Amino acid sequence: MIIRSKSISELHEGMGLGKPAHPLITIVDTENLSYGEELIGMKFTSDMYCIALKDKGCGIDYGRNAYDSDNGTLIFTAPDQVFKVAKAQKLNEVKGWMLYFHPDLIQKSALARKIDQYTFFDYAVHEALYLTEQEQQTLNQIVNLIRHELNGDTDEHSQQVLVSYIELMLNYCARYYERQLTTRSVQNLDIISRIETLLKDYYQNNDLIESGQPTIQYLASRCYLSPNYLSSLLSKETGRSAKDHINDFLVEKAKHLLLSSNDSVSSIAYSLGFNYPHYFARVFKQKTGKTPQEYRQI
């Protein structure tokens, strides 16, 4: 059974907290939370987005990943993501905060149209954002501004101000994630090498014919990463998306087949996992500037 919180009020009730100051957004201080062993193994989800800053492992598993970290770690969850309680928690055991906001809060704002661009809401927990002390202070300042707005008088500008603070926080987080990807460049190069090996093995094992083209999900799962995090990493390190890496690999194989065999273009397209030859021709021309037939005449 999965227990769902559909609103901020239901969330507060489930956590044993008082009435929320706002129906669509709240800040929960983690030191005020406690739960016993009777909740271990229970699954929870909500209709809300959550940004959570924790100072250490909080006894919660998201998906298949355990959350366990050092100081200043930020995790993001989107609506419908499921977490499971892995251990009990005492009052004042975990320091930090959780910012929950319902999609209705941003529904009529520009943020609603770009929220999907903040792909870290779909990162796995082990891809959490590890903050420097200064970065943590910056986000804490924004949280304090949101607290001040929630505790003040509500007027016609309140919702716009709250949404602006959330967007500001997300923009800082995007910057911090770029910094994290940069500082992990050596580790990232190992992953890029792993991607190249996976693609070569996939081709040599004839998986293209049997299973179709490798997907971003396939590559990410074998690197123990989420698809969005892998795409962000590759874009940062190479300037090319995960899909570009797959297509570039396939086009290189197509070049070899076009020049070393008499197979038809359609046959080559199918052997490389393309369901439609015209789509293969379009991808090939995008990458080389020539159609497959033109390239074969070289």
Model confidence over 207-246: pLDDT tens digits?
888 889 999 999 999 998 889 899 888 988 888 889 999 9
Rounded average pLDDT over 121-133: 84
The pLDDT assigned to 279 comes to: 93
Task: Compute CA distances 259 → 71, 234, 252, whole Å.
Answer: 56, 30, 11
Give every CB contact of residue 179 below 8 A, 6+ residues apart in sequence: none
Taking alpha carbons only, the member of 197, 177, 71, 84 closest to residue 127 is: 177
**Chain centroid to CA 57:** 20
Lowest average pLDDT, out of 23-37, 96-110, 133-147, 204-218, goes to 23-37
Q: Are 76 and 51 spatial neighbours (Cβ–Cβ below 8 Å)?
A: yes
Taking alpha carbons only, the member of 78, 79, 54, 80 closest to residue 67 is: 54
Rounded average pLDDT over 27-51: 80
**36 pLDDT more than 70:** no
The pLDDT assigned to 93 comes to: 67
CA-CA-CA-CA torsion for 285, 288, 293, 298, nearest 10 degrees? 160
Residue 214: half-sphere exposure toward Cβ, Cα within 13 Å: 29
Q: Are 165 and 157 spatial neighbours (Cβ–Cβ below 8 Å)?
A: no
Q: DSSP assignment of 7-58, as one string?
A: SHHHHHHHHT----SSSSEEEEEGGG--B-GGGTT-EEEESSEEEEEESS--
DSSP-based three-state secondary structure for 204: helix
Rounded average pLDDT over 277-284: 93
Task: Compute CA distances 282 → 23, 279, 296, whole Å.
Answer: 50, 5, 15
The pLDDT assigned to 16 comes to: 85
Residue 111: half-sphere exposure toward Cβ, Cα within 13 Å: 22
Length of the chain: 298
Rounded average pLDDT over 34-63: 72
Q: Are 8 and 48 spatial neighbours (Cβ–Cβ below 8 Å)?
A: yes
The pLDDT assigned to 92 comes to: 66
